[in-house]
Amino acid sequence: MTRDGEPLNPNHAQPQAEGDVFELCVDADAAGSRLDKWLSAMINELTRTRLKALIEAGAVTRNNLAVTDPSLKVKEDENFCVAVPRAADPEPKGEAIALDVVFEDADLIIINKPAGMVVHPAAGNWSGTLVNALIHHCGDSLSGVGGVARPGIVHRIDKDTSGLLVAAKNDAAHQGLSAAFSTHDIERVYEAIAVGAPRPGVGTINALLARSLTDRKKMAVVKNPQRVDARKAVTHYKLLESFGRKRAKLPGDAIASRLQCRLETGRTHQIRVHLSSIGHPLIGDPLYGRGPGLSGLKPGAPETDRAIEGIKSFRRQALHAKVLGFVHPVTGETLRFERDAPADFQKLLALLRQI
């Protein structure tokens, strides 16, 4: 990269604002350092916290492969590229958006998020997010630990996934909740409608996840535990209900199923990728497999035709964050909340129960 015609020294990044790309090489003295610590020493304009966030967001690459672990130990002569996104409008504004508040006290707030709402502002969604709604609802009480664009946000669920989410209203709550998520001391149970029915009906999917090498919007199961961005991911599933066995072409086969998925870890798209990897993607999932194999249904019966149309018209992944439980980070009280899936999810279940 050059600035004003001057080439940048690859081993000393000049002060620069958002929108820059830094190409850096590890020298012998830095070998063995943490990636985020080394980058903060090399890029004077960015704090270590900001660099850590960039790493976790996939903005740092090594040999064109994203590195998402800030604690990675760098090696001599390795080349890293840091692509700093250009700043959008810096600070989200409060918006009067209705919220389904499940619980609220001075420290935290539990929301039953509708499908279609983005959790925090990002490219393509700078307004209308949960953060915009929380700023309006909570005023100045939101924790700042999540950063300017993510005040109060401790964890996320996908835009088109509905269900329970907790946000922190002060730094003590934020740090306590973050620690609980880090040590997997949060109960998170999802309800899903998947293609077919897994066998056995109760099981655990333990498969490493990392960013797809062919599509940056997707995550993928990876076999190589040495891959630097591979993250442990564990999903426990249980078959609750199966649909369409009587009308399936093969005896015993199910057209679709309702599953309970209990998260041991919480990686991006974890349930969606894990279920797809065992041949049972979520109905309606635009990234990991939309179709439920409609050829497996015997056509003609009115109830079957209605189910087929219902499946085809379901325009989001059939996933709902149903249960959220944890120990209150400030009061020590045990909290557990449960909310049923929304109307579109229930309508699809009703159609499937007819076949």
Q: Which residues participate in catalysis according to the annotation? A: 158
Q: Give φ, ψ of 193 to 5 degrees.
A: -115, 115
Pair of tokens at residue 299: 């056509």
> 115, 123, 108: which is closest to 155 by C-alpha?
108
Is 256 in contact with 283 (CB distance < 8 Å)?
yes
Strand pairing partners for 292? none
Is 111 in contact with 102 (CB distance < 8 Å)?
yes
> 227, 193, 184: which is closest to 208 by C-alpha?
227
Instruction: Please enumerate in sequence order all residues whose Cβ is within 8 A of that of 169, keeping only pairs 6 or more positions apart, or say none.
Output: 106, 107, 108, 109, 138, 141, 142, 143, 152
Which residue is listed with tokens 């333990």? Answer: 206
Strand pairing partners for 189? 262, 323
Instruction: Please enumerate in sequence order all residues whose Cβ is within 8 A of that of 6, keeping only pairs 6 or more positions apart, or say none.
Output: none
CA 307 centroid distance within chain: 29
CA dist 197 → 201, 205, 237, 242, 287 (Å) = 8, 14, 11, 6, 20
Residue 207's CB is within 10 A of a number of other CB atoms, namely: 19
DSSP output for 252-284: T--SEEEEEEEESS--TTHHHHHHHHTT-PBTT
> 183, 124, 119: which is closest to 146 by C-alpha?
119
Cα-based angle 92, 87, 173 (whole degrees, multiple of 5): 45
